[in-house]
Structure 1
Amino acid sequence: VYEDEAGQAQEGTIAVDPRTLQSMGVRTAKAEVRELGRTIRAVGKVTFDERRLTVVTTKISGWVERLYVKAGGDPVRRGQNLISLYSPELVTTQEEYLLALRHLKSLEKSGLPEYQEAARRLLTATRQRLRYWDIPESQITALERTGEVKKTLTLVSPVSGIVVKRQVTQGMMVQAGMPLLEVADLSTVWVEADIYEYELPWVKVGQHAHMTLTYLPGETFHGTVQYIYPYLKEATRTARVRLSVPNPGLKLKPEMFAQVEIVSPVREPAVVVPAEAVLDTGDKQHVFVALGGGRFEPRPVKVGLRGSDGLIQVLSGLKGGEEVVTSAQFLLDSESRFREAIAQMLKGGEAKGAPAEKAPAMPPGHKH
């Protein structure tokens, strides 16, 4: 290491002999202005789409007279019969409805409007009670037409899907509000993946993602980022990301693991350098800029996002086309600190060797 022969090197720079540079293994790279992107890889777990889960329940108590679904895992279609319930309360209400209907018809020619109105209100209230129990309008109309009381209420599937929970058996007594079956629409599933905290700036809702499974080699599934959970896992310091993935053929099954890749959008062109060129002291970052002729300048910079290709964004302190050191910069850093320390010592010595100012002369006649 030597000083510039033409005089002292510029303040803040260091000069290194070319042979010494070669033995130190100093390598450089140019700062580029280019777009920065990142692909985030994580392990995901397939789960049910909670928005496509439906619980089949009843609003009336009774007994399971017939169970059309024999086991969990059975596929069902929208409108398919699931359970027939016998309910004494349902039978009584239908009989009350028929009685109110006959009473209203008998009062139509009576000429007593107040009695007709009371019978009409009774009929409406009884009909409304049947509606509250989800008795279909077609069944109420058939009751009016035929006068035949149905002793069972048939529950149908509100969606097409797979029965994932069956909580009743044939002949069982059920109470109003009790969950009987749970049906899942698996045409779309969720995939939940954990990503690291520093990867969060790259992930946005709506981004494209694709995934593969070990049991289906060579097949790729595509989805989108639907939600980013607003908290981290305490143990792993990772954030959970939810993907929505179409599931044709029901190949994706809940509880499966998958390899997920989230493709981040390409950022606007910015100055980027290899990540190894940046020296990070904890409170600040700097790089060594190669000035040519064996001269180097330590320069503070402000860095931004890290790309997946080993590049890091430089927000300030560097321009495109400048050459930075990518290896052995720690040796240059120690040399720079050594020179700084020597300069401080020299300044301190000069201050100590300076002649002291003369004390002002005492005025004549002054005595202590």
Structure 2
Amino acid sequence: MKKRSSVTFIAVLIALAVIAYGLYRYGHTVPGLRDIPLLQKTHEHTLKPVLTAEGEIDYWTCPMHPSVRMKDPGTCPICGMELTPVMKDTGHESQGAPHETGMPEGEDHSGHVMEGASPDAAGGKPKTEFTVSPERQQLIGVKTTPVAMRSLDRTVRTVGIVVLDETKVERVHTRFSGWVDKLYVNYTFEHVHKGQPLFSIYSPELVSTQEEYLVALRSKEALSGSGYPEISGGSDALLEAAERRLRLWDVSQGQIDELARTGKVKENLVVYSPVSGHVLEKNVFPNSYVEPGTVLYTIADHSSVWVEADVYENEVPLVKIGDEATMTLASLPGREFTGKVTFISPHLDMKTRTAKARLEFPNPDLNLLPEMYADVVIDVPAGEMLAVPDSAVLRTGTSDIVFVSKGGGRMEIRAVKLGAKAGVYYEVLDGLSDGELVVSSARFLIDSESKIQNAVASWQEDGGGHSH
């Protein structure tokens, strides 16, 4: 009986010892137990410095999860990696001030806390500067890029449709009435050359004017030797008037010279093509009667074409008349055409929010046909300007933020004002100076969304990045 009591007593002592150790070691993780004064007194311990050959260890952390801070060496509770020591007085992540995590100072900090974003001792506001040691930066792959003057030539990509060059479309008509006698070009889309006969026409008015010209010509020849200047001068005036009337009716100088040389009136006048191109319209038939001004043929010169491209409203200010452009077409694979911007519409389409840009392209081999679809790239020269890589910019929705490296592991959260983007660079309008270093690969530095939110929120509470 006495032996059984001794065994029971020893078992109770062991159980009490286990419970006491468990409360001491893990009591802070059980809701309500942290409020017990006894446990609070037994749990008040801090990160006691440890002296090594390299210096004084502040805490232990994980290279891949900087938010993990332990008072003793071991492994990371997240990834299992060996913890590395962080020395005091070397510009490392912690300055010894406890973070607002709801945990007593010195406990294992497994929550996400932005490094160095501790409250300011004077005003209780978060600092905009934090520190990451060079060794840590190397471990997490932080890279910096200098802010510098760069050539930010942009490209505006759009689509367009090939159309006719309106300045090279000719409409053939007569300035006198008459009957069409013969057609030399009798179908649409026929290719014609400049000076090629189109049709011949009989006009009583034209015949009488030719006769008047010949009479005036003979009178001048007969009176050229007259001793009376008034008479010879009058004949000259009649000849000039008759010739002028023929020219006003689109009779060429060659035809007038032939009339003067042969002295024979032509009943049928041949009308020639004014340009080389393709016949788009033919509104004339043999033996038909035509009135002055009636469009008989429409001929388009395809040696150059226009491309009408749609430019979005945010890119319209970038495009200027004279900008170089290149064009490719799915119907002509492997071909690239070079042209330039000749016109930008002053009106915006309300539905598509685009403006028409007109580009001109040479078409010597006539491969570019109207209504073809084209992919257009307009080169927009912007010149030299201060620029920062787009990978260095953190866009929060209300502001644009960069991490500026101050040297010695010190970094600063800074708001910047950005302009247009060209390739992988943003134009810097305000907030950075030439030569400053910005973090261009900060994915590991701002490892988790909660760390980003904590740092940016604290920084914004300090007044940064908001426009009031």
- TM normalised by structure 1 equals 0.77
State the match for 2:418 in structure 1. Answer: 303
Q: Specify which structure has the higher proportion of strand.
A: 1
Indicate if the aligned counterparts of 1:31 and 1:324 stay in contact, CA closer than 8 A. no
Q: Give the direction of change, closer, same or farther, for the CA distance of 1:218–1:124 in structure 2 (3 Å limit).
A: closer
Higher alpha-carbon deviation: 195-204 or 216-225: 195-204
Q: 2-side partners of 1:325 and 1:242: how far apart?
A: 41
Looking at structure 1, the residues matched to 226 and 408 of structure 2 have their Cα atoms a distance apart, in angstroms, of 118
Deviation at 1:251, TM superposition (A): 0.8
Question: Which range moves more in the overlay, 181-190 or 93-102?
Answer: 93-102
For 1:89, which of 205, 227, 241 is the aligned residue?
205
The letter of the residue matching 1:205 is: I
Residue equivalent to 1:47? 163
1:188-234 Cα offsets, whole Å, 9 max, x none, are 11112112223335433333322221122222222222333333222
Alpha-carbon distance in structure 2 between the residues aligned to 1:100 and 1:70 = 38
1:268 maps to which residue?
Answer: 384
- Counterpart for residue 258 of structure 2: 142
Alpha-carbon spacing, 1:110–1:178, altered in 2? closer, same or farther (3 Å): same
- Distance (whole Å) between structure 2 residues aligned to residue 146 and residue 73 of structure 1: 36
Q: Which has the higher contact order (CA 8 A, sep 6+)?
A: 1
- 2:279 is paired with a residue whose SS is strand
Q: 1:342 to 1:326 in 2, by over 3 A?
A: closer
Within 2, Cα distance between the matches of 1:248 and 1:146? Answer: 41
The answer for the alignment partner of 2:305 in structure 1 is: 189
Partner of 1:180: 296
**Residue from 224, 234, 247 that aligns with 2:340:** 224
Tell me the distance in 1 between the aligned counterparts of 2:158 and 2:321. Answer: 17
- 1:30 maps to 2:149: no
**1:337 matched to which residue of 2?**
457
- Runs of 5+ unmatched residues, structure 2: 1-66, 68-92, 98-117, 464-468
Unpaired runs of 5+ residues, structure 1, are 344-368
Q: Distance in 2 between matches of 1:262 and 1:340?
A: 40
Q: Which has the larger radius of gyration?
A: 2
Please name the residue that 1:314 is paired with. 428
Change (3 A) 1:330 1:140: same
Matched, 1:129 2:249: no
Report the Cα distance in structure 2 between the residues aligned to 1:100 and 1:168, rounded to whole angstroms: 34
Question: Which residue among 53, 56, 68 is the counterpart of 2:172?
Answer: 56
**Between 323-332 and 203-212, the greater mean CA deviation after superposition:** 323-332
1:5 is the counterpart of 2:96: yes
SS in 1 for 2:314: helix
Q: In the aligned structure 2, how far is the partner of 1:202 from the partner of 1:330?
A: 36
Q: Distance in 2 between matches of 1:303 and 1:109?
A: 87
**Identical amino acids, percent of aligned pairs:** 41
Contact 1:228/1:241 (8 A) holds in 2: yes
State the SS of the aligned residue for 1:124: helix
| SS of corresponding position for 1:89 | helix
Contact 2:142–2:439 under 8 Å retained in 1:
no
1:281 to partner: Cα distance: 4.5
Q: How far, CA to CA, are the matches of 2:354 and 2:270 in structure 1?
A: 48
Distance 1:163 1:130 in 2: 27
Q: 1-side partners of 2:167 and 2:174: how far apart?
A: 20
Matching residue's letter, 1:4: Q
Q: Secondary structure at the match of 2:311?
A: strand
TM-score, structure 2 normalization:
0.62
Cα shift at 1:149? 0.9
- Give the alignment's Cα RMSD to 1 decimal: 3.6
User: Quick one: distance in 1 between partners of 2:192 and 2:198?
Assistant: 8
SS of 2:359's partner is: strand
SS of the equivalent of 2:162 reads strand
Paired amino acid for 1:253: L
Question: What are the superposed Cα offsets for residues 236-256 of structure 1, whole Å, 9 maximum, x if unpaired?
Answer: 112222222121321110110
2:385–2:427 Cα contact (<8 Å) kept:
no
Residue of structure 2 in register with 1:361 after alignment: none
- Contact 2:162 2:368 (8 Å CA) reproduced: yes
1:271 and 1:318 in contact (8 A); partners too: no
In 1, distance between residues paired with 2:153 and 2:305? 27
Tell me which amino acid in the other structure corresponds to 1:168.
Answer: V
Question: Quick check: 26-35 or 228-237, which moved more?
Answer: 26-35
